[in-house]
A = this chain, B = another copy of it.
Amino acid sequence: MGRALRSDKLHETLLPKRIALPVFASDALSSVAYAPDEILLTLSLAGMAAYSFSWKVGLAVVVVMLTVVASYRQNVHAYPSGGGDYEVATVNLGPNAGLTVGAALMVDYVLTVAVSISSGVANISSAIPAIGEHKVLYAVGLVLLLMAMNLRGVRESGSAFAVPTYLFMASIIGMTLFGLIRAATGAHMEAESAGYSIQAEDSFTGIALVFLLLRTFSSGCAALTGVEAISNGVPAFRKPKSKNAATTLLLMGTIAVTMLMGILVLAKMTKVHFAADPETQLIGAPPGHEQKTVVAQVADAVFGGTFASPVFYLVLAVTGLILVLAANTAFNGFPVLGSILAQDRYLPRQLHTRGDRLAFSNGIIMLAGFAIVLIVAFNAEPTKLIQLYVVGVFVSFTLSQAGMIRHWTRHLKTENDPAARRHMIRSRVINTIGLAMTGTVLVIVLLTKFTQGAWIAILAMAALFMLMKGIRRHYDRVSEELVADLDEDMKLPSRVHGIVLVSKLHKPTLRALSYARAARPSVLEAVTVSVDPEETEALREEWDERGIEVPLKVLDSPYREITRPIVEYVKNVRRSSPRDVVTVYIPEYVVGHWWEHILHNQSALRLKGRLLFTTGVVVASVPWQLVSSDRVKDVGGYNAPGAVRRGEPSAKQKAEARARREAGRGTGGSAGGGGGATGR
Q: Which A residues are within 8 Å of any B CB, using their own CB? A: 2-3, 6, 348-350, 353-356, 358, 471, 474-475, 478-479, 481-484, 486, 488, 490-497, 505-510, 513-515, 517-521, 523, 525, 531, 545-546, 548, 551, 553, 556-564, 569, 571-573, 575-577, 581, 583, 585, 588-590, 596, 598-600, 602-603, 606, 608, 610-615, 617-627, 629, 632-633, 635-636, 648-649, 654, 657, 673-675, 677-678, 680
B488 and A510: CB pair below 8 A?
A: yes
B589 and A478: CB pair below 8 A?
A: yes
B353 and A603: CB pair below 8 A?
A: yes
Question: Which residues of B are found within 8 Å of A557, using beta-carbon distances?
Answer: 355
A-B pairs with the 8 shortest C-beta distances? A572-B674, A576-B675, A355-B561, A350-B602, A612-B623, A482-B506, A620-B620, A493-B518
Q: A486-B546, A623-B612 are in contact. Are A564 and B355 (CB under 8 A)?
A: yes
Question: Which residues of B are found within 8 Å of A490, using beta-carbon distances?
Answer: 510, 513-514, 548
- A417 and B478 alpha carbons, distance in the complex (Å): 76
Question: Which residues of B are found within 8 Å of A625, using beta-carbon distances?
Answer: 612-613, 615
A657 → B minimal CB distance (Å): 8
Q: Which residue of B lies closest to A574 (CB)?
A: B674
B496 and A350: CB pair below 8 A?
A: no
Q: A633-B613, A675-B577, A680-B525 are in contact. Are A608 and B626 (CB under 8 A)?
A: no
A573 and B612: CB pair below 8 A?
A: no
Q: A484-B505, A493-B518, A599-B474 are in contact. Are A674 and B531 (CB under 8 A)?
A: no
Q: A350-B603, A560-B355 are in contact. Are A678 and B523 (CB under 8 A)?
A: yes
Cβ contact of A632, chosen from B519, B588, B613, B649, cutoff 8 A: B613
In this complex, the member of A354, A581, A673 whose beta carbon has the largest number of chain B beta carbons within 10 angstroms is A581
Q: A560-B353, A572-B674 are in contact. Are A492 and B508 (CB under 8 A)?
A: no
B677 and A573: CB pair below 8 A?
A: yes
B348 and A599: CB pair below 8 A?
A: yes
Q: Known A-B contacts: A559-B649, A615-B625. Give 7 more (CB < 8 A).
A: A349-B603, A482-B508, A490-B514, A492-B518, A493-B518, A525-B677, A613-B633
- A505 and B490 alpha carbons, distance in the complex (Å): 12
B545 and A486: CB pair below 8 A?
A: yes
- A668 and B149 alpha carbons, distance in the complex (Å): 67
A349 and B602: CB pair below 8 A?
A: yes
In this complex, the member of A545, A553, A596, A677 whose beta carbon has the largest number of chain B beta carbons within 10 angstroms is A677
Number of copies: 2
Question: Which residues of B are found within 8 Å of A583, using beta-carbon distances?
Answer: 519, 620
- A560 and B654 alpha carbons, distance in the complex (Å): 12
- A590 and B355 alpha carbons, distance in the complex (Å): 26
Cβ contact of A673, chosen from B486, B561, B572, B632, cutoff 8 A: B572
Question: Which residues of B are found within 8 Å of A635, using beta-carbon distances?
Answer: 610
Question: Which residues of B are found within 8 Å of A626, using beta-carbon distances?
Answer: 478, 481
- A619 and B635 alpha carbons, distance in the complex (Å): 20
A488 and B475: CB pair below 8 A?
A: no
Cβ contact of A581, chosen from B508, B518, B611, cutoff 8 A: B518
Cβ contact of A562, chosen from B356, B483, B513, cutoff 8 A: B356
A353 and B531: CB pair below 8 A?
A: yes
Question: Which residues of B are found within 8 Å of A514, using beta-carbon distances?
Answer: 490-493
A32 → B minimal CB distance (Å): 36
Question: Which residues of B are found within 8 Å of A562, using beta-carbon distances?
Answer: 353, 355-356
B496 and A674: CB pair below 8 A?
A: no
Question: Can you report 22 A-B residue pairs in the complex whose CB atoms are below 8 A from each other?
Answer: A349-B602, A355-B560, A356-B561, A471-B599, A474-B596, A482-B507, A483-B506, A490-B513, A523-B678, A553-B680, A558-B657, A559-B649, A564-B636, A573-B675, A585-B618, A612-B621, A612-B625, A613-B629, A615-B623, A618-B621, A619-B620, A621-B621
Cβ contact of A677, chosen from B561, B572, B612, B619, cutoff 8 A: B572
Question: Which residues of B are found within 8 Å of A678, using beta-carbon distances?
Answer: 497, 523, 525, 573, 576-577
A321 → B minimal CB distance (Å): 31
B606 and A358: CB pair below 8 A?
A: yes
Cβ contact of A510, chosen from B348, B484, B495, cutoff 8 A: B484
A83 → B minimal CB distance (Å): 14
B621 and A619: CB pair below 8 A?
A: yes
Cβ contact of A559, chosen from B483, B507, B509, B648, cutoff 8 A: B648
Question: Which residues of B are found within 8 Å of A654, using beta-carbon distances?
Answer: 559
A563 → B minimal CB distance (Å): 7
